[in-house]
Amino acid sequence: MSDANMPKVAEDFGHRPTIEFDGEAPDGLKSVELVEGTGPVVRKGDTVTVNYHGVTWGSDKPFDSSFDRHQPASFPIGVGRVIKGWDQTVPGHNVGSRLLVSIPPEYGYGSQGVPQAGIGGSDTLVFVVDIISTR
């Protein structure tokens, strides 16, 4: 996919990213593979372990970051256990990949958002996702 309008990401795989925005969020669900991993391919139904850093478009403060907790997260992917934007962008990439994903509300938390996390119903979510393992 094109990286038009996608933010710039500093830092390498395994390190907490910094995200720099320029302009408006792109339309629709967008994913860019920043680092191509060489491990096994993540498939729908796998349990994937990732480190991730999530911000709303234009923000420098994460609403959630496993990097900040120093604790990767594991969950089934592609089976409706996480937001649609993750289910549709993580499968098909290799372990060792770093993804940059821009997720509009309809692929995230919908028009209700998650007010307690500071996510509004019209906010585009941006995640940097490091794929650590899959099984």
φ/ψ (deg, to 5) at 91: -60, 145
Query: Which CATH class for the 8-134 domain?
Result: alpha beta
Give me the pLDDT at residue 122, please: 97
**What is the model's pTM?**
0.95
- Give the pLDDT of residue 3: 59
pLDDT of residue 55: 98
Least Cα distance to 48 among 83, 12, 78 occurs for 78
**For residue 73, what are its two tokens?**
């997260």
| φ/ψ (deg, to 5) at 132 | -90, -45
Give the per-residue pLDDT at 5.
87
Low-confidence ranges of the chain (pLDDT < 70): 1-3
Q: What is the pLDDT of residue 132?
A: 98
